[in-house]
Structure 1
């Protein structure tokens, strides 16, 4: 029987009424009674204002379409006892008082419900369930899950005279219910971005293996029907897992029928392999695993309060793609911080090296103390701040994850700081020497030329902060409007300091004249030219690299040796 978007029930293409089919009515009643969700206050509400697990909400909506409202059913059959869902048992039961005793409503995974059932509700009444009937229903279950990727629940009931009776024994099996919970359209692209970024995505679900495989194929986690799916029954405690099994579990991307304790063990398994693990979850039982993960991510819409409090972050839209967007933003922020520090350090070190070199050779100081203060407070600050708000390179998600212990400035970057400082020193001292010997300027004018050379060199130096594989003219620096604003502002401040009376006297600056400006422009471009040439030598010009397999920064294969972030998603469809 198919339940449509409207209030219709169809069987073999024809509309039917649940009231004419006792088995269907019994299934709907059981799904409504054995339920902890709630719908809106109005009968017209189709679940938009519902509270609770989406699967249970769907059962309530199906019951409402048939005119079966939980408040009315529980008024007639009050709930007296509840056996809460147990991840180990994979079933839930509620006891309801009737005139003859108690009715037990049970829902859960097909395997344990069928195992606990001794009878079967048919159109001819209740009949004994034998091995053949049980096998036939298991085949239907697998067909629903594998063909349509449905989440399949089994429904059962029984009558008892005692509240103390065992909930999961001597059940009468009613049938199966398949719930369609398709993945969001952006999940497949988001997972593909994760793979290109060196992030492993592992789906760990309580659903059955055939459902996990069907969903895995749809979202790109499974490449074929032969993709291995590890059943929860195969997962042993970490202390008893051998090296071969450990490697197999680290390579597996699909896990089914997994308990909360096993999720905890899987996180520890990946952490022991040196991986950074993020996990998404929404249930109370997910709280320990969310706490254990390096980054616990709870659902903001579907997640329980317990899960949200245990998590490090909460997704307000419950979208997996938002995690990928957050990863990119995090990488961009880190790169901005690194670029910010690299720029400021290279500028400040250059000032120290310029003064130090002039002192060693015994020549005129090319820059005076107040001039250094002016550069530090004015011209250094604005370009650095502009670098800090950049959007990042276009290939951020084509890179391997960085080592979490990696410092902001690595040894290689410190060498770059020293290299840039040396180039600045050569340019500034060269401009001072040319101003004195070639242009025959006095000391004040020559110092002004060297000061302006250093100031404008630092401004043009901002273009050396582009990524090593970004375009020469089209890159994250040239696309940043704040950079151009900072350059314009600082250029204006340099001109004001040079020509405004009073300020130029305080800074001991003199107008350099046309020939002096020509020298400033030429020598200030030296660090920029040398910096760009160095990028060409080390990396080539290139355009922003996209996708795996590009030279110089390979994306790790999906193997246990692929280090980096590992994202665990409780259900890829969410």
Structure 2
């Protein structure tokens, strides 16, 4: 059972202002009372998260088992006066710490964006005078004045509203501006239904209003969201956790081997110095020092690739995390839809016509309809919006009126011509009582044209006639009136916004009532249309085994309609779960046949409930991504394993909380990020196998050399050199491979699975054993048949292991891939890495400083074959080993398959 974040929501009307004797609608607060309350309730600011100091972040980089093991190795080196080795180990620790510090310090998100959502100043009524004051100084009980173009500075309860409309989409997910009313609403209702309240950070788009302030600062809905963002801590990404776990496994393996080696050596009476020196070598060999560097650079390369696709990555590990995502929670408004209204359906006397959002032209039969042309005339004339088809982004006005003008232009209706030949004589504006708008215009034949639009039931109530082409207006029967009411209800149940249209011709404009005896034209229904790229993007997600779930604050019917349009759900009987139902379902997630887990659409969901849903799926082992653009999405964006914000239409709060920002707001870019994430994880798994097999070979060489009495085998500085240079560059080349084009045709990997699967461990041990055997064989031949000294034998092991590890990179394409089809061969970065590492190895022999540090002795050319032969054998036998293991795996799969039925 969950402990819902939703219990933390702000309380509406925490102070009942209408019964507050210290304030009044006509005078507001006195200045003295305002100052007193300001000292009690505090400033009207949103608390920001305290950012950690750079020293604390840097210190945290040293709190790991890897650092402890390397630090212990450095201490022992200094104790045995091996200062060069000690300083080299400390340098490795410092390099890794600085890389981790740089990434984490740059990844810290600030809550400053939440301050920007509030207005910088506001108008209040104090001592009976209207004053403009800083928004931070507003306090409880203030009388707040708002008008079109302003941002609401605090939560407030309305007592006066004139045509007031507020865009609350960033806070609630509701596509349309909310018409504010004075009638009381249920304080427990969803924010989108709190029509008598104003909320901090929302935008007034029309009208004026006055309201009593009921919430300031952290007690506002915006402040509550800010608190949720702070509390929704982002833990280590799955990749980081898996790499840390892998490193711990290697440490434990080496610790066990070192302990056995030291104890056995002490029982045999071997030198304490030699034993502990060997233990230091094993500790250094166990730590894949280059792993974090290579992982970071591989992720950075993926980040650059995504930048070309308009995806801004704020946390590098987020790229891989998105690749492992198996559940995506997506907002509706602005993410799946365009966040602008468009005509969806027209219901004329001739019948119902659905307007396709991607249709270039309207159906010819509809264009030729006289009724349709008259409806377009009403839509163009009974309209106060402005629109230019050459620059649609400059449109201003009510979203439905803008949609009507857009549709009229798309239908090739001459909107400017209609206005030029029909001067407006008068207007009856829309209001909450009549629920319709009427405009009166000159008609070319000398009569007066009345254009009317509004709520379908109200317009129908004023209609006496029905437009019936080709005969013209006919009496509207009771049955026809009822039928159109049913049509309007059907469209509304589908989540569409509806308007009724009518007209009338009068002899002159002096008629006492323009809205009587109207001629009914039909219904126009509107919907925020889907973004064109969403449908194929969702199809790609489904093919890749990724479940996409819509979580919105909008109406359930609207959410389901959009879900059907984009293919999110194909079940016409599907039902959306609302926020009101979630508390009971959270208490028993498996109840009602697991309804919660099988629902694809959640509507009227609060920001806190989004957190609850994400937590539920995370608790069941899913890697959850969340997309969104509004303030209401910010807590969920931070809580999710990977938050994806829309950069164009999205709020800055959402961008700050997210790990990825889509600069083109394209859902298709999410699919590109998922694909890149999968490629990166495949590359990471590939180079981790390479690094682990190389490190295990070092461990086995040192251990076997000690057990066989061959000395240390390898020196600590030699192993550090291999781990930081000859391992890093080939591993990095593997990490930046382009990957397979079929990566999105497979289901997501097990989010709980380790980077190294059991089969990978077996393969790594086999490769390491192979390298150990051929290297010790070469060492034995050199000592027995060439009579070389132990120091020269050490050099043969060093160069032989370096060459074997370099050629071993070609074994990493996969055990089922023959050498001739090995995509690593076609990776130019691999060849560059081999060339660079070969050059570095040559420097260790010819550069005196490196020769002294690594203990390199002069080598005769006759020993060259003992260096090259192990490398070639590792490549050839490695390919054979991979083929045998692959054949064995296929045989095991066939054995486990049930016998075919006759």
**Which bracket does the TM-score occupy, shorter chain normalised?**
0.5 to 0.7
Alignment partners' CA distance in 2, 1:272 and 1:503 = 52
Which has the higher Rg, Structure 1 or Structure 2? 2
Check whether the contact 2:799–2:867 (CA below 8 A) recurs between aligned residues: yes
Measured at CA, do residues 448 and 320 of structure 1 come closer, stay the same or move farther in structure 2, by a change above 3 Å? same
Alignment partners' CA distance in 1, 2:398 and 2:770 = 63
**SS at 1:201's partner residue?**
strand
Alignment partners' CA distance in 2, 1:73 and 1:536 = 84
Check whether the contact 1:393–1:475 (CA below 8 A) recurs between aligned residues: no
**SS at 1:362's partner residue?**
coil
**SS at 1:154's partner residue?**
strand
- Does residue 891 of structure 2 align to residue 510 of structure 1? no
Corresponding residue of 2:415: 67
Question: Structure 1 length normalisation: TM-score?
Answer: 0.66
Corresponding residue of 2:107: none
Alignment partners' CA distance in 1, 2:558 and 2:838 = 66
Alignment partners' CA distance in 1, 2:364 and 2:493 = 20
Question: In structure 2, which of residues 640, 645, 662 is the aligned counterpart of residue 315 of structure 1?
Answer: 662
Measured at CA, do residues 248 and 551 of structure 1 come closer, stay the same or move farther in structure 2, by a change above 3 Å? farther
Alignment partners' CA distance in 2, 1:487 and 1:295 = 36
Which deviations, in whole Å up to 9, do the C-alpha atoms of 1:26-54 show, x marking residues without a partner? 34456x45x7xx75xxx453415558998
Measured at CA, do residues 361 and 233 of structure 1 come closer, stay the same or move farther in structure 2, by a change above 3 Å? closer
Measured at CA, do residues 7 and 475 of structure 1 come closer, stay the same or move farther in structure 2, by a change above 3 Å? closer
Corresponding residue of 1:163: none
Measured at CA, do residues 239 and 487 of structure 1 come closer, stay the same or move farther in structure 2, by a change above 3 Å? same
Corresponding residue of 2:597: 250
Check whether the contact 2:691–2:727 (CA below 8 A) recurs between aligned residues: yes
Measured at CA, do residues 267 and 94 of structure 1 come closer, stay the same or move farther in structure 2, by a change above 3 Å? farther
Corresponding residue of 2:799: 452
- Does residue 583 of structure 2 align to residue 229 of structure 1? no
- Does residue 559 of structure 2 align to residue 215 of structure 1? no
Alignment partners' CA distance in 2, 1:194 and 1:45 = 35
**SS at 2:523's partner residue?**
strand
Alignment partners' CA distance in 1, 2:431 and 2:775 = 85
Check whether the contact 2:804–2:872 (CA below 8 A) recurs between aligned residues: yes
- Does residue 818 of structure 2 align to residue 474 of structure 1? no
Question: In structure 1, which of residues 468, 477, 491 is the aligned counterpart of residue 838 of structure 2?
Answer: 491
Question: Structure 2 length normalisation: TM-score?
Answer: 0.45
Check whether the contact 1:444–1:510 (CA below 8 A) recurs between aligned residues: no
Deviation, 1:155, is: 0.7
Corresponding residue of 2:547: 200
Alignment map for 1:407-446 (pairs within 5 Å): 408-409=755-756, 417-443=764-790, 445-446=792-793
**SS at 1:318's partner residue?**
coil
Deviation, 1:450, is: 2.3
Deviation, 1:484, is: 1.0
Measured at CA, do residues 210 and 346 of structure 1 come closer, stay the same or move farther in structure 2, by a change above 3 Å? closer
Question: In structure 2, which of residues 722, 742, 753 is the aligned counterpart of residue 375 of structure 1?
Answer: 722
Check whether the contact 1:26–1:174 (CA below 8 A) recurs between aligned residues: no
Alignment map for 1:158-169 (pairs within 5 Å): none
Corresponding residue of 1:14: 368
Deviation, 1:61, is: 2.2
Check whether the contact 1:156–1:174 (CA below 8 A) recurs between aligned residues: yes
Corresponding residue of 2:378: 26
Q: Which runs of 5+ in 2 are unaligned?
A: 1-345, 347-352, 441-450, 503-519, 896-902
Check whether the contact 1:277–1:293 (CA below 8 A) recurs between aligned residues: yes
Q: Which runs of 5+ in 1 are unaligned?
A: 84-92, 108-112, 159-171, 544-549, 553-574
Check whether the contact 1:469–1:541 (CA below 8 A) recurs between aligned residues: no
Alignment partners' CA distance in 2, 1:53 and 1:542 = 65
Question: In structure 2, which of residues 403, 409, 420 is the aligned counterpart of residue 58 of structure 1?
Answer: 403
Check whether the contact 1:209–1:229 (CA below 8 A) recurs between aligned residues: no
Deviation, 1:322, is: 0.9
**SS at 2:842's partner residue?**
helix
Alignment partners' CA distance in 2, 1:231 and 1:186 = 20
**Aligned-pair Cα RMSD in Å:** 5.4
Corresponding residue of 1:176: 524
Alignment partners' CA distance in 2, 1:399 and 1:411 = 20
Deviation, 1:481, is: 1.6
Check whether the contact 2:466–2:521 (CA below 8 A) recurs between aligned residues: no
Alignment partners' CA distance in 2, 1:179 and 1:478 = 53
Measured at CA, do residues 231 and 490 of structure 1 come closer, stay the same or move farther in structure 2, by a change above 3 Å? closer
Measured at CA, do residues 234 and 313 of structure 1 come closer, stay the same or move farther in structure 2, by a change above 3 Å? closer
Check whether the contact 2:424–2:439 (CA below 8 A) recurs between aligned residues: no
Check whether the contact 1:55–1:179 (CA below 8 A) recurs between aligned residues: no
Corresponding residue of 2:74: none
Deviation, 1:199, is: 0.7
